[in-house]
Structure 1
């Protein structure tokens, strides 16, 4: 701190001495210095005036140039702003275009994969077996074109549009009918070349020689196959295919009638499908049928005897005309005839005996009327059991075939399923009528016995009045 103070004092002393020396020198030359400075000042002022004049002379064009430059700068700034705005707009438009392109691509993908795909699937499913194998298969042509285009969207679009045009043309042609070449299998399996004639959903085929013609149905492997038809239908199809016009048969069921006709079996074929258990079922059916016919003839030809006949016989007996009573009793139908004859023969006996004789005749009649009805009852009971046995056998056979062939193909299993179902069907078909017939016959037998009982009661009552008039307990006493 002290050292700094000493240094400051020393410097101040040196400055003071220097100022004193300068003052002494300046006092000698101040006038010269002032004169020189005055000259310099005047020279500088003159130069300043000249410079100002020169600047004034140049100021107007420079100002004009400056203004031009300012205007150019403003115009340039406007151009830059406009360029920036255009650039921003272009950038926004490009983004919008990119968004629009993405949306358009999405729409096209939807149309291509969904709409065109569904149209192609529906179109192909609507084609007939003749069109599938011919050059009329537009969906197949589209598929081949798409495979060959290798992702070219324009080519894909052209292929799709070509398919749509082909579909519209097909709709127009199919209304009036059209012909095209193709191949079809005959009923015996021969491959024939000829002409398909298609009218709406109906398809016909005629070979080049005209010897094979008729309806066309779908065979194995989507092959067109000529269905078995009547000769007149084949002639109509062959003539129309050859001439290009004519009359064609119409099937409003679109082939369902022919298919149903093909699966209909005769009675013998139906029974054969039922297997071995069809034999006892059919055997019981034949026996029950014969018994039912015989019992119907026996029972339903019996005519009920009215109670008034018993009164007439009793009146004849009261008059002592036994021959007339026997004649009246003989005119009645069996079994009332036998019962009344027995009663007339024993009319001179006691009432209790006559009643017992008539009751005995009724007891003798009942077994004859009810004989063999149990055969029908047993048939009604056993037929469903035989059908159930056939069902179990058929199911066992079906499972055995499944072990051999698997469950994928149902055709080998049809025999077992047919045996299981047909035996049950036949058992029920036999049991239900047998049960109804047994009930009807039993009711009729009960009605006959009831009418005989009423007749016996009427006869006994009439005979009792005869005994009462005689005043004794019985005729014989």
Structure 2
């Protein structure tokens, strides 16, 4: 028990002592522990005395540092006060001199403001002008001039004013010239090649019979991805082929805006494609009707020629409807007039289906085509309303597909129906004329036989 108490007291002593005072070996009894504690206290006291002596020795140094810091602070405050006073004085002086400068400038300041505005507008014009394709870099000077004139103290020199005047005059002069130059052209497939370019004033660029566009951002000349119709390309080829005399040329006075809209307009094939499946059905029906009408036209034309030839001939031929009707009299020489009349009527009735066959189908097509077009219109409007329901009315392009289908199918239905109506009327008239000839000859045969019998 005594040993346990000694160990506990020793452990407490070790915790209480500072690190430097702990003995390397644990105290064996209370006397050793007390002795170690006394030695550690003496060592700590000496260390504290040494620290106190060092602190007292550095008091003078600390006081000197504090004095220097206060001196620097006072100097900084004095410098700040002086600079603030100088700043205020300079502000007043700048304001006075600016006012004096404005009074001296007078109307020149307004003139320089207008000049700066003209330079900015001219730079924008040069960036979109096709003349810059032949004369690049004109906007660099104007850009530098505009930026330099942004400062109220910068005045334009005579040389700069004359340079702006020269560039404006050159733009006006070149806009009235037909000029050719060699340049790199980016083809529609992405290839680049050097070729001759013809500039038509400040309106258009053409080369090898194709319209070009000038892209200012990349300083490149490129073919239009899609060229306008042939009548416009013909004028481009004409101006490239003949430069000796006047040539009709289709130019764009907007510098390319109208041309870009023109090439975006869909051609006939694209318009038909906008009709979708309904449009293709209408065209298929129209093609069938056209083939039937062509077959009927050829057939009735040949039959009409044979009938006319039979009318002029005394010899009966059975290769035509009139000959077959007239042969009834020869085949029935001994029948009475009423029976002959009935047989002639029967013969005419046999010929009528051959003359009017498939004409009813043409008439049906002329009626059905507009109805199918109306069906396409309804389908297109349904698609339009669905697009409005999903995406709203913010973007008209989302509704363009349904509207295009609605309009194109209606147009296709009318385009098919109107010719079919005229074809049916014409072919039906031709067939009725032949039938009337048969009826007239049949009546003539009966009348002639009645006269002989009388």
TM-score, normalising length: structure 2 = 0.55
Q: Please state if 1:351 is matched with 2:337.
A: yes
Q: Please state if 1:378 is matched with 2:364.
A: yes
Q: Does 410-419 or 386-395 show the bigger shift?
A: 410-419
* Match of residue 213, structure 2, among 199, 214, 217: 217
Tell me the distance in 1 between the aligned counterparts of 2:348 and 2:217: 75
Partner residue, 1:436: 422
Tell me the distance in 2 between the aligned counterparts of 1:134 and 1:360: 90
Shift of 1:434: 0.9
Tell me the distance in 2 between the aligned counterparts of 1:247 and 1:467: 85
Judging changes above 3 Å, is the alpha-carbon distance between structure 1 residues 274 and 344 closer, same or farther for their aligned structure 2 residues?
same
Tell me the distance in 2 between the aligned counterparts of 1:376 and 1:278: 19
Tell me the distance in 2 between the aligned counterparts of 1:184 and 1:460: 85
Partner residue, 1:283: 284
Tell me the distance in 1 between the aligned counterparts of 2:182 and 2:155: 31
Is the CA contact 2:149–2:156 (under 8 Å) kept in the aligned structure 1?
no
Judging changes above 3 Å, is the alpha-carbon distance between structure 1 residues 379 and 308 closer, same or farther for their aligned structure 2 residues?
closer
Q: Does 413-422 or 399-408 show the bigger shift?
A: 399-408
Tell me the distance in 2 between the aligned counterparts of 1:410 and 1:204: 33
Tell me the distance in 2 between the aligned counterparts of 1:425 and 1:279: 12
Q: Please state if 1:301 is matched with 2:290.
A: no
Q: Secondary structure at the match of 1:347?
A: coil
Partner residue, 1:454: 440
Q: Please state if 1:445 is matched with 2:431.
A: yes
Tell me the distance in 1 between the aligned counterparts of 2:217 and 2:404: 26
Q: Please state if 1:226 is matched with 2:222.
A: yes
Render the CA deviation track for 1:228-281: whole Å, top value 9, x for unaligned: 69xxxxxxxxxxxxxxxx999999224799979966878765543321112321
Judging changes above 3 Å, is the alpha-carbon distance between structure 1 residues 402 and 125 closer, same or farther for their aligned structure 2 residues?
farther
Partner residue, 1:136: 138
5 Å-filtered alignment, 1:58-207, equals 104=107, 108=111, 116=118, 120=122, 123-124=125-126, 127-128=129-130, 130-131=132-133, 134-137=136-139, 141=143, 145=146, 148-151=149-152, 154-155=155-156, 162-172=163-173, 175=177, 177=179, 187-188=188-189, 198=199, 200-201=201-202, 202-203=204-205
Q: How many residues align?
A: 329
* Match of residue 426, structure 1, among 388, 396, 412: 412
Q: Secondary structure at the match of 1:336?
A: helix
Tell me the distance in 2 between the aligned counterparts of 1:222 and 1:272: 35
* Match of residue 377, structure 2, among 391, 415, 419: 391
Judging changes above 3 Å, is the alpha-carbon distance between structure 1 residues 218 and 409 closer, same or farther for their aligned structure 2 residues?
farther
Is the CA contact 1:129–1:224 (under 8 Å) kept in the aligned structure 2?
no
Is the CA contact 1:391–1:424 (under 8 Å) kept in the aligned structure 2?
yes
Render the CA deviation track for 1:94-131: whole Å, top value 9, x for unaligned: xxxx99x98x57984996599x4896388448612855
Partner residue, 2:250: 253
Render the CA deviation track for 1:152-189: whole Å, top value 9, x for unaligned: 584399866543321213444564748699x9755345
Shift of 1:349: 1.7
Q: Secondary structure at the match of 1:187?
A: coil
Structure 2 unaligned spans of 5+: 1-101, 226-239
Q: Does 129-138 or 452-461 show the bigger shift?
A: 129-138
Q: Does 417-426 or 341-350 show the bigger shift?
A: 417-426
Q: Secondary structure at the match of 1:149?
A: coil
Tell me the distance in 2 between the aligned counterparts of 1:461 and 1:213: 75
Is the CA contact 2:116–2:146 (under 8 Å) kept in the aligned structure 1?
no
Q: Please state if 1:368 is matched with 2:369.
A: no
Judging changes above 3 Å, is the alpha-carbon distance between structure 1 residues 398 and 107 closer, same or farther for their aligned structure 2 residues?
same
In our comparison, the structure showing a higher alpha carbon Rg is: 1
TM-score, normalising length: structure 1 = 0.53
Shift of 1:459: 0.7
Q: Secondary structure at the match of 1:285?
A: helix
Is the CA contact 1:120–1:139 (under 8 Å) kept in the aligned structure 2?
no
CA RMSD of aligned residues (A): 5.2
Is the CA contact 1:305–1:455 (under 8 Å) kept in the aligned structure 2?
no
Shift of 1:423: 2.4
Q: Secondary structure at the match of 2:303?
A: coil
Is the CA contact 1:292–1:437 (under 8 Å) kept in the aligned structure 2?
yes
